[in-house]
Structure 1
């Protein structure tokens, strides 16, 4: 029997972000398992679309054939509460939530409250919700009115990686993440300034176009701190895994992560990690593989960087623990199998 699915998504499915990478990998895995998938692009601007964009997306969703199974990415779904409540009885709606929209960094209290209200209403209209971490499942149970039975965790898969040597001279510090306020690159840059007396180089890899205001502010910060010859704001990269295999330290000061796929990828390469105790990061990064510091604590982040830069033995010890943890992570076929099994029941 043919299994059919409509996958609705906002923006550009080919964007190099963790969320879109998850979507692409899951779609490929579902197709491998015999699912026939119709892609339904909902347009740009989510989760803050213009009224016209929102109306156009609702019109597309409203045209889906009755009885269809619809999997929709949470970046759009959280603001499509009117459509979800209207069409819940005629469609089998499943939401894929990477993290609740209201937990994005930099939102006003009014915007945060609005997003929480619309996403809670939308999620209440679903047949099921797939989340990417146990932490997000706990959040949706505690604050969005969902039950444990309504939720399934499908951890992102992680492909095995080439083992990093961790012997660079000077040590190379790698950060991978879109230049968004939530990713905390400003904290990393300021922390690197605090250890400017040491020998190191650093690369910050990630899109500079999704939040141009933040990207420009980071460029200005690097210039103002006199670090242009030591920090490379490298933009997007086709193969970040190749960069990880050549790095010595992975550092990302995210203020929140619904999972943090790049941390899992860093583990798979055996990279020691410096990050913040934020969101799901502690669930991904074992204590012996990295150092987690409080969010927005520049000096604590700098202290962790200093320890890792000046002590090759510490890098190697934590790198070994990271690689061991990476070998235990689920792979993408595991993720796709979990989601396929859930969809089959609906």
Structure 2
């Protein structure tokens, strides 16, 4: 099994090959022609696109790019995107040629962060970087979870394991687990409490266009299709846990539940809340007049993992809806709580 870096830039994309089969890991949308040329030159068949997490600093391949590449998309089951074909979790294997990459769930940078372990190497996404680690100050970030993932999972790999990170800003290409255990400035000799304190006080600037990029990647919609709300509006959305929403549904009268997933998700593996109204994200603005009778009544917005629905809830609030709530964690959390669903 071979690993090749394709971007040679801050955002790294990798091509993992075995024989004539290939996996594309963390592709950047604007670089799609380069990837297609590389596959054609090598006579390679793309068997999968793997995203190590929901990215905030570049556009993922999107609906058009997925159709163009013609390969299934793999992401962790906590991913909010509707464009995922195969949801993976800890211990799953993604086949390529006669080999496979093993999935480690390594949350912290994002809830859906994964690392991919191959023969003598690991692709760490934005979890473990060379001399550092991915920031944890975005929505869903958790420095404690990241510390546990790195120290208990990644640092448990053999010291000679080659580390291929999702980012590097100094032109470096790889490291090893042993080297990172010894010299990583954020982790070497640092306990969990100190790590959390450090990560919570990095004071890093917010990436440009983050609200647009992140919402495009989370929703599978394009900025031309949905007037995504600004970051401040997202922060003002009221969150409700699955248990709180279940209690609201027992009230008289109950709230309106608006599910902004795609139709195939609505009837898919996670099912939907009984009585929910399906309004896909890209159709929401056009449906606002039909929802007007609920402008002064409670509305709960639902999606797969709570990201799309937060954007939708902010749009409803901006349109004048007074009592809008987001189901925190979406249908993934609802199902995990053992609450009833319909299919």
> Could you tell me the TM-score, scaled by structure 1's length?
0.35
Q: Which has the higher contact order (CA 8 A, sep 6+)?
A: 1
More helix by share: 1
